[in-house]
Structure 1
Amino acid sequence: MTKIEIKNLVFGYDSQNILLFDHANLNIDNSWKLGLIGRNGRGKTTLLRLLQDQLEYRGEIIKQINFVYFPQKVTEHNLTVIEMLNKQTQFEEWQVRKELALLDIREDILNLSFDDLSGGEQTKILLALLFADKNNFPLIDEPTNHLDITAREIVANYLRTKKQGFILISHDRAFIDAVVDHVLAIERKKILLYQGNYQSYEMQKKLADDLQQQQNEKAQKEVTRLKQTYREKEKWAKSRESAGKGKNKRKLKISSRPDDTVAKNQMRRAKAIETRMDKKVKEKEQVIKNIDFVEQLNINFKSDHHNSLIKVNKLSLTIGNHKLFKPISFEVKKNEQVAIAGKNGVGKTSLIKSLFGKSKVNYTGTGVIANNISVSIIRQSFDERGTLTDFADRNKIDYQELLNILRKLGTERETFVNRIEDMSLGQKKRIEVARALLIPATLYVWDEPLNYLDVYNRQQLEQLISVYRPTLLLIEHDEHFLSSIGATRIELRAEE
């Protein structure tokens, strides 16, 4: 078995004041199906880049294998699939066809334009190319984005049955649980390796966190006690200092020692006590910082007199001569959460855009939105640029409130000074979510809100919806999330 060995790895971006990896050590067997997890901004994708020697670092990364990264960068989208694949790398066409069959993709897709495929179909094409290459070790970064529920099950089974190992980044708990046999967690202060799937990791982490929390509570009590002791000794030292000064004044004419000798001795003792106490307090407080806490989010939900906010009756969309889905009827009532489901390419995002006047596709049937309601949208694509101050001004939201929500979502303060275009995809998605939560709204429309968000953020949104029950229309493929919020599902079915 070949191993990937990391020794004393030290790395941090110049634009940040913190190290992502501080003398990290790790051994990875290349036969493992390793799930790489951790909060956004902790360095998951960065670690994959370090393995590929794309960044300068201190320490050693010892490997006897070459890596291949997913998603591969596609520059010429207007080519047919087979032409695009040939541009990417050398491969055996029969091998790609075999992988496509395993991914439930029809062979004639090779002759279609890559740009005309749905996001899920493009993902499967690139995965097929990844595993057609038997000579390199796969690094798979967020493969579930844009995959519908059925496609996620197909891809999960595809990866689970592979004989070769890989490293996989994903925030979909059910998906990663079904695929991996080891979990590597990048936590606040360290990297931890667990044997087993995601569920096994969660159980082990909960036990460790419970123990850590007990230690935290004990340490917090000790910090309080130390600070109280320090205050008492500081008060004593000051009283002795005052007494010493008074005594010196009385004995000034008969003492051979300088007037301030006693005072200086008392000050030195007080300073020594302060130094010792500060050291003990910092040691105890350091212990308390090892757990990720999930804070409660707020939402600016403004319920009004409308009982029905969206009413759709026998609606169907057509692009060119192609009807996207069979006529659909549904209603979104106050405090309901309705999820639009369906396979990739069936027209879920097109439906939302048509309801809110963002699309000019042809349609039959009706879709009515209640009058004079405010709507807050989470967009699937995010192309903002500039500083967070600029972003707040453009969207007419309070800058300090934006920073407050970003902190609750787990964004480090050091990131606030970065330009948005320089942030990770997960950090950008947090900004989009924060904006949507701050805008006063009667109706929320979320198009794949969980893409690029970590597990903690997903839990926060689940909790938020359970507490506030905002009126919500969403597109999402995370089965665990939809079940958790109790969403009503509307299935779009393609025309035969």
Structure 2
Amino acid sequence: MGTININNLNFRYTQMSDYLFQNVNLNIDETWKLGLVGRNGRGKTTLLKILSGDLPSDNSVNTDMKFYMYPQNVEDPSRLVSDIVTNLSGINIYDMWKIEIEFEKLHLSDDVLERQFDTLSPGEQTKVLLAILFVDERGFQLIDEPTNHLDIQGRQIVSEYLKNKKGFIVVSHDKYFLNEVIDHVISINKADIDTIKGNYDTWETKKNSQDSLEIEQKKHLTSEIKNLNKIATKRKEWAGKSEKQKNKTKGQKDNLDKGFIGHKSAKMMKKSKLLEDRSNKSLEESRELLKNIDVESSLSMNFKKFAQDKSLIHVQNLILKTNKISTPETSFDLNNDDIISLVGRNGIGKTTIFRQIMGISQPFEVHGEIKIKPHLKISYLEQLQKFTGNIEKLAEIKNVDVQLIYSNLRKMGFERESFPMPISQMSLGQQQKIKLAVSFSEESNVYLWDEPLNYLDIITREQIIKMIKNQKPTMIVIDHDLDFINEISNKKIVLG
């Protein structure tokens, strides 16, 4: 039986002052189905890259397992899928039946092999790369965020697919998905890394229980320290007064037992020192608590309700088409206080409709109409937008106060030391938080968010839901997370 042993792993990037991982020890069995969880920026992708050998480990990783990592780098997306399969998997053309078996499990037709990779929908691309990943059953798979860009049906298919596999680590922030496919959890916490047997709910229940216990212990120790310090102070004061009384009576002929006063004073000082030691010990115990508790701060948007209430964005009988594809006919009105969710499978045209509303040029024949109120300020969060430079440069381009962006990022658990880094070198979760922080900071009457939850940790998702419920902004949202859609939306537009 194969194992993966990580012994005293230490790692940090050159631009970091602190270690991302320090003295990490883990033992992983080849048959485990592991979910890797933790807040964005804690090093989930980094750990996968260390295991795969893409980052140095200083001989801290000991195993005879062969690792395969998703997503793979497709250097030329214009090539046929069959060429990409042979290139990435190493199988020969006469062994293509192996990939066809995986395609069938993922509900992909064999015709996909003869298509260009870049003509596939994001969901189809994900399935192709997963099939390539598992074509060698002897490998150990490292899967980084496979549910991003998958529609609801696609997530169910991939979930069923992974249920029948063994020996992998998957990073995902979709609780339902993780509960379906994993039997162990690796948790990258604020202060350490641990492994438990069970699914996400098992881990969350244990963590919440531990957090609650530590909070109670912290309260008890804080109260104990306060009382001990109070008693110790009083005894010191008494001892000091007794010593003064002893000196005062020196040479006087009275009945006061100066020896008794001195003995009592010394005894009090000794007890005071013992109390001080107990207080210091309790203080040390207190410092060891709450190291892994993530504090949720309240987020806020720079939302300004538009002066007019009705039809801020009016879409009537809209169809966008080429000679190959066409969006379904779509109509809706966005009014103040509306949060509309556009719902539909991958590739049906949700993002295309967003881009048309924003006036972005597209090679489509337009039928129907879009009317937008004059002077309406729209904050558009694009699904696949990439940023260059650092956060300060981005703030300058977007004409947004950089301190507002920093404040929102800190509330989402973003480490300050990462602020100066080039955005392109950050994790995808960190990049998504930057997109959101910019959108929060822009003065806006309407928000158009295209898959805002991609790559985000669960705590940040919950923060965003609370913020939307509290501020009730006017929005149109595209997302495949049903819990998110049901929590925030008052209208759903189902396409197709």
* TM-score bracket for the superposition, by shorter chain length: 0.7 to 0.9
Deviation of 1:472 (Å): 0.9
- Maintained 8 Å contact 1:227/1:281: no
**Contact 2:303-2:473 at 8 Å conserved across structures:** yes
Distance apart, 1:418 and its partner CA: 1.8
> What's the counterpart of residue 394 of structure 1?
397
**1:30-429 counterparts in 2 under 5 A?**
30-58=30-58, 60-91=60-91, 92-162=95-165, 164-221=166-223, 281=283, 284-304=286-306, 305-319=308-322, 321-360=323-362, 361-429=364-432
Unaligned runs of 5+ in 1: 244-272
Q: Which amino acid aligns with 1:121?
A: E
Query: Aligned partners of 1:33, 1:350: CA distance in 2, in Å?
Result: 37
Which whole-Å CA distance do the structure 2 matches of 1:24 and 1:424 have between them? 21
CA distance in 2, matches of 1:59, 1:73: 25
Q: Deviations over 1:301-350 (max 9, x none)?
A: 1112223322222111113x124222122222221211112111111111
Aligned-pair Cα RMSD in Å: 2.8
Give the counterpart letter for 2:424 in structure 1. Answer: E
Alpha-carbon separation, structure 2, partners of 1:94 and 1:345? 27
Instruction: Please state how far the C-alpha of 1:297 moved relative to its aligned partner.
Output: 0.5
| CA 280–420 in structure 1, closer or farther in 2 if over 3 Å, else same | farther
Q: Separation in 2 of the partners of 1:276 and 1:214?
A: 19
SS at match of 1:290: coil
- Report the AA paired with residue 81 of structure 2: V
Pair 132,58 (structure 1): closer, same or farther in 2 beyond 3 Å? closer
Distance in 2 of aligned mates of 1:93 and 1:78: 20
How far did 1:405 drift?
0.9
Query: Which whole-Å CA distance do the structure 2 matches of 1:396 and 1:22 have between them?
Result: 39
1:9 match: secondary structure: strand
Counterpart Cα distance in 1 of 2:110 and 2:87: 19
Asked if the contact 1:77/1:114 (under 8 Å) is kept, the reply is: yes
* Structure 2 letter corresponding to 1:69: M
Aligned residue type for 1:36: L
After TM superposition, give the deviation of residue 445 of structure 1 in Å: 0.4
CA distance in 2, matches of 1:222, 1:55: 47
Q: Which amino acid in structure 1 is aligned with residue 326 of structure 2?
A: L
Displacement after TM superposition at 1:372 (Å): 1.8
Give yes or no for contact 1:174–1:480 (8 Å, CA) kept in 2. no
CA 223–297 in structure 1, closer or farther in 2 if over 3 Å, else same: farther
Structure 2 gaps, min length 5: 245-274
Q: 1:4 to 1:81 in 2, by over 3 A?
A: same
CA distance in 2, matches of 1:54, 1:275: 50
Q: Distance in 1 between matches of 2:230 and 2:437?
A: 40
Q: CA deviation at 1:112?
A: 0.9
Distance 1:277 1:198 in 2: 38
User: SS of the counterpart of 2:68?
Assistant: strand
Aligned residues: 462
Q: What SS does the corresponding residue of 2:289 show, helix, strand or coil?
A: helix
Once the two structures are TM-superposed, the CA of residue 57 in structure 1 deviates from its matched residue by 3.3
* Secondary structure, counterpart of 2:290 in structure 1: helix
Matched to 2:367, the amino acid is T
Sort the Cα spacing of 1:44 and 1:223 in 2 relative to 1 into closer, same or farther, 3 A.
Answer: farther
Distance 1:351 1:131, change over 3 A: same
Query: Are the counterparts in 2 of residues 219 and 287 from structure 1 also a CA contact under 8 Å?
Result: no
Q: CA shift at 1:387, angstroms?
A: 2.6
Q: CA deviation at 1:447?
A: 0.6
* Aligned counterparts, 1:453-492, within 5 A: 453-492=456-495
Residues 46-86 of structure 1, C-alpha deviations (whole Å, 9 max, x = no match): 11111122323356322121100001100011111111222
Instruction: Provide the residue aligned with 1:442 in structure 2.
Output: 445
Contact 2:221–2:283 at 8 Å: present in 1 too? no
Please state how far the C-alpha of 1:444 moved relative to its aligned partner.
Answer: 0.4
Query: Which SS does the other structure have where 1:381 is aligned?
Result: coil
TM-score by length of 1: 0.86
Q: Distance in 2 between matches of 1:463 and 1:100?
A: 40
Q: CA deviation at 1:455?
A: 0.7
C-alpha distance in structure 2 between counterparts of 1:227 and 1:412, whole Å: 35
SS of match in other structure, 1:287: coil
Matched residues in 1 for 2:59 and 2:9: separation?
A: 4
Post-superposition offset of 1:278: 8.2
Distance 1:123 1:399, change over 3 A: same
Query: C-alpha displacement at 1:224, in angstroms?
Result: 5.7
Q: Which residue of 2 aligns with 1:268?
A: none
Are residues 180 and 87 of structure 1, via their aligned partners in 2, closer, same or farther at CA, if it must alter by over 3 Å?
A: same
- Secondary structure at 2:60 match in 1: strand
Letter in 2 for 1:105: L
Letter in 1 for 2:389: G
